[in-house]
Structure 1
Amino acid sequence: MMGRGCAAGRRRSLLGAFALAGVMALASGCGSPVDFYRPGEGGADEPVVGLGGAAPYVRPRPGRPRAADPPGAVPVAPAGGRVYAATGPGMIAPGARDMPARLYVADGRGIEVIDPRTLRLVGRLGAGVAASGVVPSWDMRRLWAADTVHDVLVPLTARTGRRGRPVKVTDPAGLFFPPDGRAALVVAGRPRRVEVRDPRTMRPRASVPLPCAAAAGDFSLRGRTLVLSCAAAGALVRVDVPGRRVAGTLRLPDGARPGDVRLSPDGGTFFVADAARGGVWAVDARAFAPRGFVRTAPGARGLAISRDARRLFVAGGGTLAAVDFRTRRVTARWPLPGGGDAVPGGVSSDGRALWLADGGGLVYAVSTRTGRVLRHARLRGRPAGLCVHPQPGRYSLGGTGLYR
């Protein structure tokens, strides 16, 4: 008995000595075994984002990579098995929470920056850049302006608006980032291809030839497939992202003109806007085959998803329609100001407003509940693209408002 008691006493003494040594090591300037970051730094899923800062909304997982590690270590599978589980109201990634809400309007001559609360012009970026669209980077800390006139992508720091060195890219019709963040996929109109590039430097890595000229698209549930739409050819193309090859082509019925693409919340269906037929196609994500058509209004071309992921907004031809994902029925049709051919730029963080822009120089927000115009601004230029930034999500997939 005395031997066991002495042994226990020695173990307690040793534990106490180790604890004291740990405290002395920390006091002497040795680093903590847990990485601490100032607010706004660190990854979205880090165990500690910042002392005194907001806690991350994603539950930390064992063995998470540090902020300095490559972004490819971020989990690809959506939380809870739902595609948009991390894009609900207010779920801004920690790294983007300190960024002011802004509207970035590409008007073919530059990018006008607007405060969505006051609708005041607060800046102009990329003067001399014939931007046709603005796309957030995978980590949402950078914006890429696509200039199809000068064949360049221009990097812009999201927080400061500082312009970086343009990257030469032939006819950048679309820019996407796989969920793992390991690559940038630049969709080129001429020649028809997908260029695989470094997501930070945009240095080319590989090229995937396409059978038709594509632009809009979205990723499958696991992000292994990118489905692109070819408007002129009336077709969809399925690209195997890891294999860097075209895995299939789907010809839609004659007369179809596919536009924007969105994945359903359950990951089983791609919805494709069709301006010519005035509605959206439902395409089985696994079989890559049509599974129905929902008629909304003539000119349907742009798509956006509500913050609760229950409705699909379809814009175009002077009409905004709301489609219920579960029943695949139109639940509302609202006229848009002036009957213009508006394109959606994104849903507000709280989910109450959908921002749109039309070529006539109007940028406005409509209520996602009633369709009523909440506020609007008239610009001098002719908007060609609209980006609402930042938006809820763990990361950006590029395109027009694609987040997971």
Structure 2
Amino acid sequence: MRSISSLTGRLAAFVLACASLPALAAEPPPIFVLNSLDATVSVIEPVGWTEKTRIPTGKEPHHLYLTPDEHSLIVANSAGDSLTFLDPRTAEVQRVVYGIIDPYHLRFSPDMKWFVTAGNRLNHVDLYRWDGKEPKLVKRIPTGKTPSHIWIDGKSTTAYVTMQDSDELIAVDLATQTIRWRTPTGPMPADIFGIHDGKTLLVGLTGSDGVQVFDVAGAQPKLVGKIATGKGAHAFRAGGDGGRSVFVSNRVANTISRIDLRTLQVTDTYPVPGGPDCMDVSADGKTLYVTSRWAKKLSVIDLASRKVVRQVNVGRSPHGVWTLDHAKS
């Protein structure tokens, strides 16, 4: 019969051997792609680069946003008048909130008290109070034609919204729920990106070939410049490099430009086929995920080589893209 000490020794050796094995890596969170014409979300597994599943949503999901507590990813279904809440880690459907009228674009204020949506087809901006669980409508504000994208300043005082078909930028005062000012832009303004502590706004011109620069530090806005990027300048994404740059997708030119935020000059250009639209950046800042709107694909760009290294088939008219494992700024 083996001695107790012998068995103890073998057990200790086994435990030591197990401890020396490499730990199994946790499965990374999925990449979500909104298929606007299919009313679905593609859930992409970013190791084998396969589409794990497609989740039904309301009609025309275009944009998405993480809740302040980071427990839910909100998909805004503009023609479905609803919000679909997904688990950002598992892609499980948590709930659907109905009665949110025409939520094309959406954004939380930095203080997490306001939830703002742009009604693209119905020409209004809705201001909701957010109590951590439910949006409660405070004011519906009539705007110009086709509200497109929203950006909210760092102090949570002002929501800036582009008017795609009346070629305007408006500023909405959140305290009074009124329009503070409106100013003309170039053709078909789309996404907005704030820099210089919110004193400067970049506005992508989908109907032109670049980005307009507005000084909004004073009582009235001033157009102070334009950055040539490419035809169909549309969406922005922070560069993942600590606030030094921003990407803009040029949907018609089939390129993405990187803009240096100190010089406001284009420093890099990346060719991307199929009408590049929304973007996200990997946590290490090395990879750019882009929806190719007209090609029904998610394009993956290696930023060092400036090349598309893979594409994943998704649904029709892919628009918003997001993953929890992304660069913060």
Say whether 1:102 aligns with 2:35.
no
2:260 corresponds in structure 1 to 324
Alignment of 1:134-213 (within 5 A): 134-160=64-90, 161-189=92-120, 190-198=122-130, 200-212=132-144, 213=146
1:315 matches 2:243: no
Letter in 1 for 2:103: P
Name the aligned partner's letter for residue 268 of structure 1: K
Quote the offset at 1:322 in angstroms.
1.6
Partner secondary structure for residue 201 of structure 2? strand
Q: 1:191 to 1:336 in 2, by over 3 A?
A: closer
Moved more, 131-140 or 288-297: 131-140
Residue equivalent to 1:93: none
Quote the Cα distance in structure 1 between the aligned partners of 2:238 and 2:79: 31
Residues 346 and 172 (structure 1 numbering): CA distance in 2 closer, same or farther, change over 3 Å? same
For 1:99 and 1:291, the matched residues in 2 are separated by 46
Report the counterpart of residue 58 of structure 1 in structure 2: none
Matched, 1:126 2:56: yes
Give the whole-Å Cα distance in 1 for the aligned partners of 2:27 and 2:66.
Answer: 13
Mean CA deviation greater in 352-361 or 120-129: 120-129
Aligned residue for 2:214?
283
Deviation, structure 1 residue 291: 0.9
In the alignment, what sits opposite 2:236?
303
> Normalized against structure 1, the TM-score is what?
0.67
What secondary structure sits across from 1:215 in the alignment? strand
| Structure 1 gap ranges (5+) | 1-97, 394-402
How far 1:202 sits from its partner (Å)? 3.3
Q: Cα distance 1:303–1:267, how it changes in 2: closer, same or farther (>3 A)?
A: same
Residue identity opposite 1:100 in structure 2: P
Q: Using the TM superposition, give the Cα deviation of residue 238 of structure 1 relative to its aligned residue in structure 2, in angstroms.
A: 0.6
The alpha carbon displacement at 1:306 in A equals 0.9
Which of 193, 200, 211 does residue 262 from structure 1 map onto? 193
CA distance in 1, matches of 2:179, 2:325: 32
User: Which structure: greater helix fraction?
Assistant: 1
The AA in structure 2 aligned to 1:250 is T
* Offset, 1:379: 2.4
Whole-Å Cα distance in 2 between the matches of residues 385 and 111 of structure 1?
9
> What residue identity is the alignment partner of 2:303?
T
CA distance in 1, matches of 2:178, 2:57: 37
More relative contact order, 1 or 2 (CA 8 Å, 6+ apart): 1
Report if the CA contact (8 A) 1:99-1:390 is conserved: no
The Cα of 1:375 is off from its aligned counterpart by: 2.4
Partner of 1:52: none
Give the number of the structure whose alpha-carbon radius of gyration is greater.
Answer: 1
**Post-superposition shift, 1:193?**
2.5
CA contact (8 A) 1:323 1:331 kept: yes
Distance 2:288 2:81 in 1: 30
Aligned twin of 2:46? 116
Matched residues, percent identical? Answer: 21
Deviation string for 1:90-148 (max 9, x for gaps)? xxxxxxxx893321111132111112232112233235664233222122210112112
Alpha-carbon distance in structure 2 between the residues aligned to 1:243 and 1:127: 34
Higher strand content, 1 or 2: 2
Unaligned runs of 5+ in 2: 1-25
The residue aligned with 2:5 is none
Looking at structure 2, the residues matched to 377 and 366 of structure 1 have their Cα atoms a distance apart, in angstroms, of 12
